[in-house]
Chains A and B, each alone.
Chain A
Amino acid sequence: MTYTEASLKEALEKKLQDISVDILVKRSKRIIITTSRENLKKIAKLLFEEFSSQHLSTITARDTGTSFEVQYHFIIDTIMVTIKITCPRDDPTVDSIVSLFPSAILYEREIHDLLGIIPLNHPDLRRLVLPDHWSEGFPLRKDWKPAGGET
């Protein structure tokens, strides 16, 4: 079945009616689902099972100053569906979705490495991009400043 933005939104709303979510068609080919972090795995599972999405483009995280915003970009039928969740700075944990989307393994390691967001039940949380002996915090957090200014 091929979806349009409107029909996909409708189908998502129908399947997600028990979960508190906010679904927005931002522009053509872009749908954003805003929800709380407890619902992440449930929705990811639904996208995988009901909408046969296997394509997780990437996971983006950013530091808003007071919390972390984590976005999961899936592709369903050429439409990019983004799940947007937030987690507080003093408890930076999210559920890992590796069991559903194996390609998430590297992206979850990346946000763990650079922002210190901990994916719970992740099978392998070694460093990804930073050196093994790195002990100086999380470079992509806003309060992290590089030494010696810019090069």
Chain B
Amino acid sequence: MVQVKIPIGPQHPALKEPENFMITLEGERVIDVDIRIGYTHRGIEKLMESRTYIQNLYLVERICGICSFAHSANYVQNVEEILDVHIPKRAEYIRTLFLELERLHSHFLWIGVAGHEIGFDTLFMYTWQDREVVQDLLEMISGNRVNYAMNTIGGVRRDVSEEQKKKILEAMDFLEKRTEFYKNVAVNETTILARAEGVGILKPDIAKKFTAVGPTARASGISVDIRRDDPYASYAEIPFDVITTDTCDVLGRVVVRVLEIFESIKIIRYLMDHLPEGDLKIKTSRKVPEGEAVNHVEAPRGEDFHYLHANGTDKPERYKVRTPTMANLPAIAEMLKDSYLADVPIVVAAIDPCMGCMDRVLLLQQNKENYRNSISWDQLRRYGIQWYAKRGGY
């Protein structure tokens, strides 16, 4: 049979972020997938080398709009490890609270996106409405809906009052009820079953081989969770379960995330009931001694990995980020092979990809003559026409 190559993306393939999938088809079947990333490379790692540790706090948060707290928590953990400081218990608990609130809103968001991809927009409307409840909590405590600016080196910047605690617990009761409803929808609704069951199969051995992380790996029956395996913040003290399923398909990924919402609610209740008294932060030096630290946290999408090399000044020597989407990318290619073209969007969406996170660098040009960061509309138009003309277009 004739093989046909079709490009999906880079303009918004299945989701509102740029990435290019070159798909080779035989009829309706996907034979091969080639993935091209880098469309939103912003140069954050390079930029961090020229900023102080305090300035970098706010830069690191902007790696990703959804899991911004996972990134900033990871960053401060690295800096604190080299500084050899231990933050107050209360600050640890508040960090954990934010990590879990972030997981809640991210998972609600994802369930909505998954619904949207399979043409089930009612689910999308419902979950995004419920997500607003979490966003309101985040705004109530931090003042921001996204990029909360809560972390600082040596602790957190804002406290949780008694009144806020009450509101958080009320919201958890509400969200628990809603999640019961989604759990029911996920396993009984025929639209979801028809589009998600048996789709995007990722067998455990393949998932391990290609290092899938987070809910993607857990839906293939692999019990990995950094919160349990290498506890950070206050996870070592908190009882919670690691959710896995063994269906290895998109439906499994839905189920894992829905059940993880219950775990997050459980963790948040525990945190609110046991919130210790004490300071919010300790003073640390602005300069960080020479040293190296590696930390990973369980972001909503999986293992988020940060590396810091400090050189004794107030700026990092090298900072490296590996986001969960990057780790899951080789697994996507495996999941798509031998699936139907129509299933591509939902399979891609099922890892909860975040391209902005993954790319991280801005187009910087070394020669001033070629500096193209600001370009007029006319120039851009001419450039576009020439680009296509050179490649045999009109």
Contacts and interface: CB of A to CB of B under 8 A. Distances in A.
- Judged by DSSP, the binding face of B is mixed
Given A62-B309, A129-B361, A136-B365, A147 B330 contact: no
Interface in A97-151: 101-103, 105-107, 114, 127-131, 136-137, 139-140, 144-148, 150-151
A73 B230 contact: no
Given A55-B211, A82-B294, A106-B330, A147 B361 contact: no
Interface string A46-86: 00000000111110101100000001010000101010000
B361 A150 contact: no
B159 interface: no
Given A56-B211, A148-B368, A80 B38 contact: no
Given A102-B209, A129-B38, A146 B364 contact: yes
A146 B46 contact: yes
Contacts of A15: none
Given A62-B309, A78-B230, A103-B330, A148 B209 contact: no
B322 interface: yes
Contact of A103 (B46, B327, B363): B327
Contacts, number: 105
Interface residues of B, number: 42
Contacts of A147: 364-368, 370-371
Interface residues of A, number: 39
Which of B296, B364, B371, B373 has the most chain A CB within a 10 Å cutoff?
B364
Interface string B276-308: 000000000000000000101000000101010
6 contacts: A60-B318, A105-B330, A139-B43, A139-B364, A148-B364, A151-B362
Interface of B: 37-38, 41, 43, 45-47, 50, 81, 208-211, 229-230, 294, 296, 303, 305, 307, 309, 317-318, 320, 322, 326-327, 329-330, 359-368, 370-371, 373
